[in-house]
Structure 1
Amino acid sequence: HGLRINTAKLTSSSPPTELVGNLRASFLVMGALLARLGSAGCSPPGGDVIGQRPIDVHLAGFEAMGSRVDREGEKYVVETDGLRGARVFADYPSVLGTQNLMLAAATAAGTTTIVNAASEPEVQSLAAMLNSMGARISGAGSHTVTIAGVEELHGTTYRIIPDRLEAGTFAIAAAITGGRVEIRGVHLGHLFSLIAKMREAGVVVEEDGDTLRVWRDGELRAVTIQALPYPGLATDLQAPMAVLLTQARGVSYVHERVFDNRLLYVSELRKMGAEVVTTGTTTAIISGPTPLLGSSVRALDVRAGAALILAGLAASGRTEVADVYHVDRGYERIASKLRSLGAAIERV
């Protein structure tokens, strides 16, 4: 895929609310529009209901850089007479918050330093793209990012990084079904934590340049996983890994350390015969192996939906996953890709 963007005639600083509500990352327009037009208005971002995901990091950073932040009806409105560099402390290492402040600071007067910045590959990739456009950003990938403002940015041609979450999902799919999958075009370093835990669970993972080969050779072993900010195991791969662990011998523990309500899918997994109990809202205890049975379940968010599809692949009988529109936001043509690997799956 390729996308050519020309903003020469950009005039509106407020995206349509109905579009913003579909994807949490929509709020990233705020930093870019604020830098370009001096004002930006946006409804609270949409996305999955997986716990508290405040936008305080974004708004506090904008204020520190000389902006006025107000709430007008359903929208946040941010205005500035000129952004200036500032030292910003992020209350938590928010990926989108870090990216939004980078976008705003790229052309601000002076130098901006983001302390406790997110270090995810997506942050590093945005910094690399902005630098290719003339920005001066250093420290991306660490928890302190420094942006020396420049007068203006110019166009660029940039190749986005591979989707580590999609690659990880297909790797887990191979392990849970007992199949063998080769995934090409992968940035292996971005998947180190997942590969380490899969190997600990008994999955064979072979690395070859930008190619990953995954298969299961023998019984899976119970492990403990923790979803953490990068370079820890990605929270977006926690649910698919939990499905894999239903097939592991022994008792596995799943700890969610990023969001406070991301185990809602457990009730759906139980419908399929999984032996899973939760302690509070952030820890699940999985006893296995348990045979999964086809059932009618519902995708509660994008990654939980993907996890239930994987559970359906491993289950006996027919599984129907409702509300798969959630999954579409994170996976392009997931049904046809799985079908090409031999899965009996169809979109209805």
Structure 2
Amino acid sequence: MAKVIVFGSLNMDISVECDDFPKRGETITGGGLLMTPGGKGTCQAVECARMGADTFMVGKVGDDQYGRQIVAALTKHGVSPMNVSITRRAATGVALITRAKGDKTIVTDPGANYKMTYAEVRAAIHGLGQRGNIFLAQLGCDPDATFESIKCAKRNELYTVLNASPVQSLPLDLYPSLDLLCVNATECRSICGIAPMNDGSIKEAIDWFGERGVGSTVITLGSQGSATVIDGKLVKVPAYHVSVVDTTAAGDAYVGELVAHLAFDGTLEESMKYASAAAAICITRVGAQETMPRWDEVEEFVKMREQA
């Protein structure tokens, strides 16, 4: 089993549910307030750990109550926080989430996440990383630190994974350092200019990334499942259809399970199937970290659906 090293955001999620999203300048009444540890980095790390992977978090929190709660939650879920540091130069990152009609809007203040430096991540890679281990990153921390850290992990022969979210442009010299890129349809279009609307455009987009040096690309397509290219052929994995409660952490459940399954030497296509199951279970629950399913739940879910 490969070790999973996650460099990413550590946020406190403050979430409210309402009947519909407010219009500009409008004040509405909501309910169902939740304040839970979140952040794309921590959620994906928690999902990796819940799948049984040996998982280490790399990041930064503020010297405040939110930061202490987040670190405690990582430990509770089996993620090592030994490389999560504390800064007094910024508060812990916060995400403000509005939930309505099975969808959500999110505004984040990165706070301490942007104080994490490349030198600190490099030290963690050298201390934790061994050839064949997995380095997983997103785009919720300082971009330069993130890009240089991925290149460092690649030089040290780790298997590098980038979930390009929240979306932003990627430097051309980063692509050859990516063994696996995971994007949703919106992120894909924003980065490469190709909207993955059908089989032809999906393969065109994946090939676009491949031509620039990316080893493999997975595009998640919401209710349409996910897709990749293996040996030159388009491979599509269907989504599992469930009653949607909260989509906040669905993408993180998908990426976390995908990476964990790869850590246990699963094939990419098989890993995508189980990742789809993890995302489906996640969206039947409200919240972030606490919605991440365990391996036994994912395995039973897939078994039941295949027997149906």
Please report the TM-score for the alignment, with normalisation by the length of structure 1: 0.28
Q: Comparing both chains, which one has the higher relative contact order based on Cα–Cα distances under 8 Å and sequence gaps of 6 or more?
A: 2
In terms of fraction of residues, the more helix-rich structure is 2
Give the greater-gyration-radius structure (CA).
1
- What TM-score do you get using the length of structure 2 for normalisation? 0.30
